[in-house]
Structure 1
Amino acid sequence: MSHGKQFTFYTHTSGTNGWKVAVLLEELGLTYESIYLDFEKNEQKQSPHIDYNPNGRIPTLIDHKNGDFVLWESNAILLYLVDKYDAEKRFTVTDENEKHILNQWLFFQASGQGAYFGQASWFMRYHPEKIPSAIERYQKEAQRVVGVLDGVLAKSPSGWLVGDKVTIADLSFITWNRAAVHTILKDFEGGDVEHKFPAFYAWHEKLNTRETVKKLQDIQRSLRK
C-alpha cells in the first residue's frame, strides 16, 4: 500500500457514510487515497479491508502519520479528525456544554437519521420484494427525524446545530439529508420538504453550497458514469 498521502480511506462510490468523512478531510486540507470497494463483489468483507475493519462496513480510515492508526465508524472518524487535526477548532467547539451537545447530535445522526434513513432506502430501492408497511414505517421515521431537526434549527439564531458556526455535527447529516430530500420523502405524504420543513431545508441548502461538498458531488457523479 502506497503511503504517498497521509490517509488511506476505504469507502464506496455511493455509500453515504464515506462521503461525509471525505467532506471533513477536504475541509481540513488533509491528503488521502480513496479505495472504492465493490459491494457487488463483497470486497468490504474481504481482505485487506476486513483485516482493518472487522465490521466489514465503510468507511475505514488509516492514518499513516499516526503509526498506521486504524479507525472505523464514520462519526468516530469525524471526532478523531477534529481532535487531532483541527488545531483552529474550525469544525468543533471549546465550550464544555457545547461539546456534549455536539456529541448528542452525532449520536442522533447515527442512531436516528442514519439508521432510519438507511432502512427506508433499503426497503424502497433494494429489498427483493416490496413491503409497503416497512416502507411506510421508515418513511414516517425519516419524516419524524427531519421534523426534529427542523424544529431545533428554526430556533437556532445561527442556523447551525451547535453554537454559531458549522461543526461536524452539521457535516455528519449532509449525505443522508440529500437522500431524504431527493428520494425518501420526495413523494411521501405530498413531498415538498422545502415548504414542510423550511428551517431544515435552508440548512440543507447552506451545507450544499460549501465548495468541498460541491467538489465531492462532482467526483461522485463522475464515478457513477
Structure 2
Amino acid sequence: MVKPITVWMTPPGPNPWKVITILNELEIPYEIHSFKFDDVKKPPYIDINPNGRVPAIVDPNTDLTLWESGAIIQYLEDVYDKENKLTYTSLKEKHLLNQWLHFQMSGQGPYFGQASWFNILHHEKLPSAIERYEKEVHRILGVLNTALENRTWLVGDKCTFADLAFLPWNTHVGIILRMPEGEDPLDPYPNVQAWQGRMQSRKSWKDAMRMRDRLMGEQGLTPIGMPKGVNNMKEYEEFIESQAA
C-alpha cells in the first residue's frame, strides 16, 4: 500500500501547483504541509530544503526527500507513472518531454517570476526592468504559440507532464502583466490560449485550485500572495516585523 507523500509548500506561488496537479493526475496519495512564506528560510523547512524555496516532498515509500519542482515531477514520473499516463518511453518523445520541461524551468519560470517581482512585489517601479521581463514573458508565449501550431499538445497525442508544467505560471499571466480586468493576455497567442483552456478544464487542475483557494483563505492572502492590505515585499517585511513585535 502506497503511503501518502508529504508536500511542503507555501500556497501562493505557482511551482507547488505543478507538483500537486501531477499528483492528482497520477492519483498518488499525498498530504500538504502548508506554511507561511516568511518561514521558508527557517527550520524546520530549511532542514528539508537548504535553498529555502517551495515545493519539497518527503516520500516515505522510498525514504527520499526532494526539492526543485522539475526534479520532483521527473521523480514522480519515474517511480509512479507505471502506465505512462503522462509520459512516453520512446527515445524521441522521452527527450522532447525533457526538453520542454527544461524550457519551462529555465525560461518560463524564471522570466515570469522576475516579471512578477518587478511589476508587483518590488516596492520601487523600475521601468527598464519591467520592460525587459515583460518582453521576455511575451517571447516565451511566442515560442509556445509557434510550437503549438497545428498541435494539441507539446509532444505526441496526449497531455503530458511537459504540458502541465507550464499550466500554473500561464494562469498567472494576467496578474503578472497587470492586465485590465476582462482582458485575456493570451488573446495574441491563440494556440497557447486554446492549450491553456484544455489543461484548465482537467479535473486534476480544478481540484488543485479548490485546494489552493482554501489554503490561501486560511492564511488570509490576496491573489498576489500578500496579506490583505499589503501591496509589495517592502510592506510585507514591515508587516512581518510588526507581527513579531
TM-score, normalised relative to structure 1: 0.90
Q: How many Å separate the matches in 1 of 2:124 and 2:69? A: 30
Within 5 A, what are the aligned runs for 1:145-224? Answer: 145-156=140-151, 159-180=152-173, 182-185=174-177, 187=179, 192-224=184-216
Match of 2:76 among 70, 78, 81: 81
Equivalent residues, number: 214
Within 5 A, what are the aligned runs for 1:64-75? Answer: 64-67=60-63, 69-75=64-70
Residue pair 2:116, 2:177 contacting (<8 A) in 1 also: no
Which aligned segments of 4 or more residues in structure 1 are displaced greater than 6 angstroms? none
Amino acid at match of 2:60: H
Match of 2:240 in 1: none
Q: How many Å separate the matches in 2 of 1:178 and 1:204? A: 8
Q: How far is the alpha carbon of 1:46 from its aligned partner?
A: 1.4
Match of 2:41 among 45, 69, 91: 45
Q: How many Å separate the matches in 2 of 1:194 and 1:25? A: 27
Q: How many Å separate the matches in 1 of 2:184 and 2:167? A: 18
Q: Deviations over 1:102-159 (max 9, x none)?
A: 1110110011000000000011111011111111111110000000000110132xx1
Residue pair 2:3, 2:61 contacting (<8 A) in 1 also: no
The reply on whether 1:20 has 2:18 as its aligned counterpart is yes
Q: How many Å separate the matches in 2 of 1:223 and 1:6? A: 19
The reply on whether 1:63 has 2:63 as its aligned counterpart is no
Q: How far is the alpha carbon of 1:49 from its aligned partner?
A: 1.4
Q: How many Å separate the matches in 2 of 1:166 and 1:186? A: 29
Amino acid at match of 1:178: T
Residue pair 1:186, 1:193 contacting (<8 A) in 2 also: no
Amino acid at match of 1:209: S
Q: How far is the alpha carbon of 1:195 from its aligned partner?
A: 3.0
Structure 2, unpaired ranges of 5+: 218-245
Q: How far is the alpha carbon of 1:164 from its aligned partner?
A: 0.6
Amino acid at match of 2:116: S
Amino acid at match of 2:94: K
TM-score, normalised relative to structure 2: 0.83
Secondary structure of the residue that 1:195 maps to in structure 2?
coil
Q: How many Å separate the matches in 1 of 2:30 and 2:43? A: 20
Residue pair 1:161, 1:169 contacting (<8 A) in 2 also: yes
Q: How many Å separate the matches in 2 of 1:65 and 1:167? A: 24
Q: How many Å separate the matches in 2 of 1:8 and 1:194? A: 34
Identity across the alignment (%): 46
Secondary structure of the residue that 1:122 maps to in structure 2?
helix
Q: How many Å separate the matches in 2 of 1:196 and 1:128? A: 30
The reply on whether 1:125 has 2:120 as its aligned counterpart is yes
